[in-house]
């Protein structure tokens, strides 16, 4: 049941049907009971209400009869002392009105009125009734005046002129209403009308009451005359946001995203580590909403308050909420007072820095949002408030330049330049931009850290700043004097978060600092030494101290500055060695588990696992080496070496393996032998000389004989040892491995037996068949490196026969396969070789494209072998084009890349071959060809010797010794076992000599060359 008395009197039942209460006295009785709904009203008061000064002779009986009539319509309970209306107090609009006014919910209270109080009741001659109506009307006017004052204080006076004009016309001597109307008119720029209102009111007061205007109204009049304290309503007044002193850089997109979140969610929280710029983003986003939200954007700063402080009380103090706004409700709790202020307002409340009062902030936000349906809250915190419906926006650091060339467009660099411009002009040359990029990367793109760094430029140069960033906590201490103490230094920013952590959270955070490149949950559990790692990591992630990268299995990492801070606490806790050893053990065991799988079909899965932990494996290795732990370093090298080789980390792997070998200390024989075998693998990659590995091969062989080791990699050492002991016995050295129990070893034996036949100059298809068999067996295993290796060798063999298109197809297949395991080093070599083959196919566009791709890939690697192969292909192509200058340039590059290795016999042979081919002076050419043949003799490789014989044939042609040229070509074919159609010089010399010799002379010379000793042919040709 609802009883309406603030306007036309009516009663509605629960079924919304209007209840007819006939007769003025019956309605008067109902009003008397309703104003104290739910409470006992004495009979004497009811009689006084209904009959006033003229009660009936039997007043008690008359009242009882009237109550009996009312009971037929509305539930009424009676006692000897009085009667009670059985309805909830809020069912009576007048009662609800008074409650709402008491709570400061003025707009909601005023909206209950639909006309005059107790209208249409019709009760006559009742002083109590008249007094009640007068009191309600007075409360209404007082509430309206309070509400108007609050609205005008908020800058909304211009919108109230019409409503106030009507009220002043009804109540011309109600001075608070008059004052409100004058201020509203002034706010809308209608000063003359405001003065006219004052004049009319003064006349009315004198005429009706015989008094002058109050001092308050007179003071307002004087202020209007003088133009003082007259506040015009202006756009964007609905805010207490301060004007910023600096520009906002790099976050325009974030402002738009946050604005959209605020528009679609009642609560949005900006989360992120200290110094990420949460506060500034919140205010910048809020500033864009002041024109949209009619009741404004209000900023409440929580950072200065203690952990036990009340968020609501801080909001009241910050926003200046006055008791007048709350009616007579000064005793209402602080949150209710805020609710009263915002209940009907469409506004945004920014709660800044909630992390240290997170529980209080969450309770406050939930209550206020629950009772202020048009209010929105934008919070900033280092962790979420954790309320249902909360939208989160993680405030990331400013984006960093991917390369120094991108520095000028980087928001982080732009911020550094902008803030530094206040103290010095940094310039914009390439060195300055690169140095600024280095500074910003060292600071993780964190805005506060960048601003602190810029402040340091008052007393040091940019280069000095960059060189001292190894200790950022000591360096970055020059914050604003007006900032909170915890925002004046970088250490203080992180100290603030550290102090809010539990002991277990601190333990996990400091131990997590030992990781490089983040940690999986399993790794964190093992290294941090707690079964509660997931819960603690989740808590640290929510507090913005740890970042959980989003994927199927999250990885946990820290920003560089936080990691450095945690590492210092790790040292302070004397846990560095304990944690490092746990880290080393975990990643050594992980690599041991993965290693066998890297030679099988599941290698992609395990490469992905190790790729994710690459930085940790390298860090564990370097830590063991630095600590002089030879056994631990060699153990890890033995199981990580093949991973480094496969995954395109050859240079790093080579350096780490060499460093582990050089670390003094006792190492088990099996591990030492295995690491030596891996080192041989790295030594023999690229255009190197396998003879450098002689000592290592002998040592592994001695260890193997002593310990009877069994390992796939170690099995490969036995044929290498036999090849050293019996030079030239290549085939019988590898054939025993065809019976190995390991299918990977068997497939590799097939490949080597094919490759050895090429080296030995076997001309038939047997070498091709072995290479094809190796491809097939590696494909059955699913071992992608083996597939690529075998396909490359097969492609080169096919190219020798002149089948360039098929060879290109094989290389394309090999490239597709190796790309699956990120073998960038190998891709450089294969694309370089493709460039040569496309040139031979007379397709210069595809040749140039392949070479360009090889160059692009080369920029991603630092393995000398891969880069030297690219330079060699460039030199070869330049030689074919006749570009002597480019040949010389590429030779210079090869020499620089290989260093001492450039003096190996096979490299010397290649260098002199190229120099001999471009030398214009014949005597100079002869010297180079002589040196090239001497070096090739040292290698003993048939393919290399055969190639040089073609080159010497070209020299003979230049000397017009045509028969000698034919003899040398024939000797080349005999050495290789077949003519090398991939060398365009061969076809050119053939054609030139046929043009000079008869068929009989050509045939005779070719027959002689096929049977002759190639050394004698070279000696004769180069003798003069």
- Report pLDDT digits (tens) over 546-591: 888 876 778 999 888 888 889 999 999 999 999 999 999 999 999 9
Report the distance separating Cα 820 and Cα 815, nearest Å. Answer: 9
The predicted pLDDT at position 636 comes to: 96
| Helices (H), ranges, 209-294 | 215-226, 252-264, 278-287
Question: Which CA distances in Å does 659 have to 155, 251, 652, 699?
Answer: 73, 45, 11, 18
- Class of residue 442 by CB neighbours under 10 A (exposed 0-12, middle 13-18, buried 19+): middle
Nearest alpha carbon to residue 443 among 485, 490, 407? 490
Distance between start and end Cα atoms, the chain: 127
Report the distance separating Cα 751 and Cα 81, nearest Å. Answer: 113
Angle (CA) 374 542 352, round 5°: 45
Question: Which CA distances in Å does 473 have to 150, 251, 489, 568, 594?
Answer: 48, 26, 8, 11, 39
Encoded tokens for 926: 């002869």
**By the 8 A CB rule, do 974 and 1009 touch?**
yes
Q: Which residues of 243-259 are buried (b: 16+ CB within 10 A; e: fewer)?
A: eeeeebbbbeebbeebb
Residues 6 or more apart whose Cβ sits within 8 Å of residue 614: 517, 647, 649
Angle (CA) 159 162 166, round 5°: 145
**By the 8 A CB rule, do 441 and 391 touch?**
no
- DSSP string spanning 454-504? HHHTTTS-HHHHHHTGGGHHHH-----TTS-GGGSSHHHHHHHHHHTS-HH
Report the distance separating Cα 206 and Cα 849, nearest Å. Answer: 99
Order of strands across the sheet that contains 2-4:
2-4, 10-12, 18-19
Rg value, the chain, Cα? 46
Report the distance separating Cα 264 and Cα 833, nearest Å. Answer: 58
What is the three-class DSSP state of 6? strand
Report the distance separating Cα 548 and Cα 771, nearest Å. Answer: 47
Encoded tokens for 798: 């096919």
Encoded tokens for 668: 């088990």
The predicted pLDDT at position 153 comes to: 74
**Ranges of the chain with pLDDT below 50:** 232-236, 322-330, 481-484, 686-689
**By the 8 A CB rule, do 248 and 280 touch?**
yes
Nearest alpha carbon to residue 98 among 321, 327, 325, 368? 327
What is the three-class DSSP state of 459? coil
The predicted pLDDT at position 186 comes to: 86
Question: Which CA distances in Å does 512 have to 517, 521, 542, 572, 573?
Answer: 11, 11, 16, 15, 13
Report the distance separating Cα 180 and Cα 201, nearest Å. Answer: 13
Relative orientation angle of helices 824-840 and 864-881, to the nearest 10 degrees: 10
The predicted pLDDT at position 665 comes to: 94
Report the distance separating Cα 905 and Cα 902, nearest Å. Answer: 8
The predicted pLDDT at position 482 comes to: 47
Residue with the two structure tokens 């539990």: 502
Encoded tokens for 1007: 């027959």
Residues 6 or more apart whose Cβ sits within 8 Å of residue 37: 3, 85, 87, 88, 89, 91, 92, 95
Question: Which CA distances in Å does 18 have to 2, 9, 23, 805?
Answer: 10, 11, 16, 96
At 348, give phi and psi (nearest 5°): -120, 130
The predicted pLDDT at position 478 comes to: 56
At 960, give phi and psi (nearest 5°): 65, 30
- Class of residue 430 by CB neighbours under 10 A (exposed 0-12, middle 13-18, buried 19+): exposed
Question: Which CA distances in Å does 529 have to 510, 534, 576, 586, 815?
Answer: 12, 12, 13, 12, 43
Report the distance separating Cα 639 and Cα 622, nearest Å. Answer: 15
Angle (CA) 933 937 940, round 5°: 135
Encoded tokens for 675: 């690491």
Task: Give the containing element (helix H, strand E) for 350.
Answer: strand 347-352
Is the pTM here over 0.75, yes or no? no
- β 391-394/82-85 pair status: unpaired
Encoded tokens for 709: 């080791």
Distance of CA 853 to the CA centre of its chain: 29
What is the three-class DSSP state of 380? strand
Report the distance separating Cα 509 and Cα 569, nearest Å. Answer: 9
Question: Which CA distances in Å does 854 have to 440, 849, 874?
Answer: 32, 9, 10
């Amino acid at each position: 049941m609802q009883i309406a008395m603030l306007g036309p009197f009516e009663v509605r039942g629960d079924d919304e049907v209007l209840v007819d209460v006939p007769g003025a006295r019956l309605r008067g009785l109902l009003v008397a009971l309703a104003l104290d709904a739910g409470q006992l009203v004495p009979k004497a008061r009811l009689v006084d209400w209904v009959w006033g000064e003229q009660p009936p002779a039997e007043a008690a009986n008359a009242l009882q009869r009237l109550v009996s009539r009312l009971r037929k319509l509305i539930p009424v309970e009676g006692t000897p002392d009085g009667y009670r209306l059985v309805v909830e107090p809020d069912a009576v609009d007048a009662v609800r009105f008074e409650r709402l006014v008491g709570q400061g919910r003025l707009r909601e209270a005023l909206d209950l009125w639909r006309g005059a109080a107790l209208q249409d009741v019709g009760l006559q001659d009742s002083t109590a009734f008249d007094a009640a109506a007068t009191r309600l009307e007075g409360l209404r006017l007082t509430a309206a005046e309070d509400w108007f004052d609050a609205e005008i204080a908020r800058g909304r006076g211009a919108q109230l002129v019409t409503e106030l004009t009507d009220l002043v016309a009804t109540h011309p001597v109600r001075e608070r209403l008059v004052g409100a109307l004058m201020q509203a008119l002034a706010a809308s720029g209608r000063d003359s009308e405001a003065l006219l209102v004052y004049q009319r009111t003064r006349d009315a007061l004198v005429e009706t009451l015989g008094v002058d205007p109050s001092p308050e109204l007179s003071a307002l009049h004087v202020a209007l005359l003088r133009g003082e304290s007259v506040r015009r309503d202006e756009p964007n007044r609905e805010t207490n946001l301060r004007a910023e002193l600096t520009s906002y850089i790099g976050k325009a997109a974030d402002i738009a995203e946050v604005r959209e979140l605020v528009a679609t969610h009642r609560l949005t929280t900006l989360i992120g580590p200290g110094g990420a710029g949460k506060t500034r983003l919140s205010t910048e986003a809020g500033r864009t909403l002041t024109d949209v939200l009619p009741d404004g954007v209000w900023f409440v700063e929580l950072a200065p308050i203690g952990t036990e402080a009340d968020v609501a009380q801080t909001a009241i103090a910050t926003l200046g909420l006055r008791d007048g706004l709350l009616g007579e409700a000064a005793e209402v709790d602080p949150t209710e007072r805020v609710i009263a202020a915002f209940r009907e307002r469409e506004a945004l409340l920014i709660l800044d820095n909630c992390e240290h009062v997170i529980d209080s902030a969450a309770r406050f936000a939930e209550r206020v949002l629950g009772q202020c349906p048009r209010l929105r809250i934008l919070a900033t915190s280092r962790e979420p408030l954790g309320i249902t419906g909360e939208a989160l926006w993680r405030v990331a650091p400013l984006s960093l330049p991917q390369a120094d060339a991108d520095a000028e467009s980087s928001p982080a660099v732009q911020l550094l330049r902008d803030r530094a411009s206040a103290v010095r002009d940094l310039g914009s040359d390439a060195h300055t931009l690169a140095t600024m990029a280095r500074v910003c990367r060292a600071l993780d793109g964190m805005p506060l850290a960048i601003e602190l760094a810029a402040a340091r430029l008052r007393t040091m140069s940019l280069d000095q700043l960059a060189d001292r960033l190894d200790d950022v906590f000591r360096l970055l201490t020059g914050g604003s004097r007006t900032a909170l103490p915890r925002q004046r230094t970088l250490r203080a920013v992180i100290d603030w978060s550290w102090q809010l952590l539990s002991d277990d959270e601190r333990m996990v955070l400091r131990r997590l600092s030992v990781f490089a490149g983040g940690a999986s949950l399993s790794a964190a559990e093992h290294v941090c030494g707690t079964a509660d790692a997931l819960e603690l990591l989740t808590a640290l992630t929510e507090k913005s101290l740890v970042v959980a990268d989003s994927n199927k299995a999250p990885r946990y990492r820290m920003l560089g500055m936080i990691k450095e801070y945690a590492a210092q606490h790790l040292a302070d806790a004397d846990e560095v060695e304990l944690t490092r050893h746990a880290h080393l053990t975990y990643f050594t065991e992980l690599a041991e588990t993965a290693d066998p799988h890297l030679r099988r079909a599941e290698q992609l899965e395990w490469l992905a696992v190790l790729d994710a932990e690459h930085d940790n494996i390298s860090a564990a290795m370097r830590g063991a080496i630095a600590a002089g732990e030879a056994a631990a370093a060699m153990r890890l090298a033995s199981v990580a070496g093949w991973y480094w080789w496969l995954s395109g980390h050859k240079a790093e792997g080579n350096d780490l393996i060499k460093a582990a070998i050089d670390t003094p200390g006792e190492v088990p024989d099996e591990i030492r032998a295995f690491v030596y075998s891996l080192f041989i693998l790295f030594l023999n990659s690229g255009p190197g000389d396998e003879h450098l590995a002689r000592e290592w091969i002998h040592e592994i062989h001695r260890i193997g004989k002593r310990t009877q080791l069994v390992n796939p990699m170690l099995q490969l050492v036995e044929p290498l040892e036999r090849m050293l002991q019996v030079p030239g016995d290549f085939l019988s050295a590898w054939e025993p491995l065809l019976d190995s129990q390991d299918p990977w070893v068997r497939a590799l034996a097939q490949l080597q037996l094919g490759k050895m036949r090429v080296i030995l100059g076997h001309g038939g298809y047997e070498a091709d068949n072995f290479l094809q068999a190796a491809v097939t067996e590696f494909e059955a295993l699913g071992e992608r490196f083996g597939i690529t290796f075998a396909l490359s060798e097969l492609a080169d063999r096919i190219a020798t026969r002149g089948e360039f298109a098929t060879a290109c197809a094989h290389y394309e297949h090999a490239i597709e396969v190796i790309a699956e395991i990120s073998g960038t080093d190998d891709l450089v070599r294969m694309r370089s070789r493709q460039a040569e083959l496309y040139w031979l196919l007379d397709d210069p566009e595809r040749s140039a494209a392949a070479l360009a791709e090889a160059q692009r890939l080369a920029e991603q690697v630092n393995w000398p072998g891969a880069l030297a192969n690219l330079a060699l292909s460039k030199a070869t192509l330049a030689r074919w084009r006749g570009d002597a200058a480019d040949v010389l340039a590429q030779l210079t590059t090869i020499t620089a890349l290989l260093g001492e290795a450039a003096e190996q016999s096979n490299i010397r042979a290649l260098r002199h071959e190229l120099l001999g081919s471009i030398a214009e002076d014949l005597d100079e050419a002869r010297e180079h060809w002589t040196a090239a043949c001497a070096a090739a003799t040292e290698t003993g490789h048939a393919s290399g010797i055969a190639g040089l014989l073609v080159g010497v044939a070209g020299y003979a042609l230049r000397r017009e010794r045509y028969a000698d040229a034919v003899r040398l070509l024939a000797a080349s074919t005999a050495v290789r076992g077949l003519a090398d159609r991939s060398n365009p010089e061969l076809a050119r010399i053939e054609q030139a000599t046929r043009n000079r010799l008869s068929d009989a002379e050509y045939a005779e010379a070719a027959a002689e060359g096929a049977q002759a000793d190639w050394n004698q042919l070279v000696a004769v040709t180069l003798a003069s």
